[in-house]
Amino acid sequence: MDQRATRALDVADIIELRLDCLDEQELSKATDRITQVTARLSIPVIVTLRPAEQGGHSDLTIEQRAKFWQQLSRSKNVLLDVELEMCASTPDDGSNLICSHHDFAGVPGDIDRLYELLAATRARILKIAVNATDTVDCLSIFRLLARAENDGTELIALAMGDAGLTTRVLGPSRGAFLTYGALEEDSGTAPGQITAEQMRSVYHINTIDRQTRVHGLVGSPVMHSISPHVHNAAFEAEGINAVYIPFEVKNLEAFIQRMVQPASREMDWQVGGLSVTAPHKLAVMQYLDWIDARAIEIGAVNTIVIEGNDLLGYNTDVDGFIEPLLTTVDLNADSRVAVIGAGGAANAVLWSLKKQGVEVVLFARNVGKAQELAEKFAVTCKQLDGAGFKGFDVVVNATPLGSFGARQAQSPATSEQLRGVRLAYDLVYNPGETRFMREAAAVGCQTLGGMEMLVAQARRQFKLWTGRDAPGEVMHAAALRGLKKADD
């Protein structure tokens, strides 16, 4: 605890000591040492002894916890985080109390009543943490922060889970007393908690204010994305007061209407533009006021620009895909390209390749399902299983197979299938080297990963949102850093 608290001084303004895993005897022995540690630290310290029913690990009774708080309450520079039922039994005037409540089931329907119960205690600071499954769930937290600010109440309010990241990043700029960050990866004390270092280096949390323009990635899942590294680095390099956040969105209609559309959104924030990823690239088109002709032809939007009260849709995937390809190989009318996959990514790929005038063949496991896409772009569709790609100059993986997570060990094609191919182009960017690329390299194929496409399309998004040329080198370097952290 002493060593980790010392390390935390480099990234924290406040340090929380979680004592949940100590039993009664261990706590009794540790009290003096805890007092020494907190006295030595140069910043405020929160001490927490969370019971299991509130998301902690302690199985101590209320009486046992009350005894501990009584021993520790005389420590200086310490805030005691206690649960609602404990507030009345804590021997303190309330000046160093945080009265907290955690709901891991979701957002309680009586959250305003809960706030009032906490406010009726003598605690100086209130804390409410709920579980979010969709970014729209964050609205209740931002409403509470606005209420507390109006009441003159110090409030910690946040949504846990991946969908709650927006509250962690934007909370302090909207009146939250603090936000939480883990000291290390995989050591967070609540679901959805990223590291304090990421809060500072990726999201630049200390520079966010009410005028900060908010951009983000809309999809599900999105937390694996390195786009926040790319765009936030670009904003910082150009001196733009903006932040880019991953938005975990399952209910797209509710998100657009309640958080994005200027005429109907329920939150006062400066939304500048959005990236859109799976599974929403097609569905989002019905909620836009205007769509670029190219995006209409492709049948997918991956970029939204907000102009006045209108939402404008674009597709930057096409340029992102073709630019790295053309700098790697020469394509002509005699070139043959195989595209594996018939999902959303394949739309932009097929459109781009048809514009180059090359021969394109679409390969899919479900030919019947892929046939509609093949007819849309007037290409041949073939069965993937058992296919051989000898004779093709380029093979493109437009499926999610090989991407970080459960599919990382998978590949849409084997070495034998890829033998004789000049270039294997994988649109997956995380990990940096996929199994598909390794299978191709094993039989002498040149390989190209999705990182180049990611950065190329992001540069065009930046231009659409800001009107400025993107700092390409900065964005590429940030992407590499983000990918390295993901691999670590």
Q: Which residue among 76, 250, 281, 485 is the active-site one?
A: 281
CA-nearest of 247, 188, 185 to 218 is 247
User: 172, 7 in Cβ contact below 8 A?
Assistant: no
**Quick count: other Cβ atoms within 10 Å of Cβ 23?**
11
CA-nearest of 332, 345, 389, 344 to 363 is 389
Output the CA–CA distances (angstroms, integers) from residue 178 to 46, 141, 174, 199, in the order listed. Answer: 11, 14, 10, 12
Evaluate the CA torsion angle 435, 377, 327, 229 in order and state its sign: negative
Cα–Cα distance measured from residue 246 to residue 164, given in angstroms and rounded to the nearest whole number? 10
Evaluate the CA torsion angle 287, 293, 295, 301 in order and state its sign: negative
Question: Cβ contacts of residue 205 below 8 Å, gap of 6+?
Answer: 169, 172, 179, 199
**Quick count: other Cβ atoms within 10 Å of Cβ 21?**
9
Phi, psi of 452 (to 5 degrees): -65, -40
Partner residues linked to 98 by β-bridges: 81, 125
- CA 432 centroid distance within chain: 19
Q: For tokens 């150009």, what's the residue?
A: 238
Question: Cβ contacts of residue 78 below 8 Å, gap of 6+?
Answer: 38, 44, 45, 46, 47, 72, 96
Using alpha carbons only, give the angle 322, 325, 331 rounded to the nearest 5 degrees: 95
User: 184, 195 in Cβ contact below 8 A?
Assistant: yes
Partner residues linked to 82 by β-bridges: 99
Partner residues linked to 156 by β-bridges: 127
* Cα R_g (the chain), whole angstroms: 26
Cα–Cα distance measured from residue 298 to residue 373, given in angstroms and rounded to the nearest whole number? 10
DSSP code per residue over 4-42: HHHHHTTT-SSEEEE-TT--HHHHHHHHHHHHHHHHH-S
354 carries an active-site annotation: no
User: 97, 80 in Cβ contact below 8 A?
Assistant: yes
First to last CA, the chain: 24
Q: Would you name the residues annotated as active-site residues?
A: 281
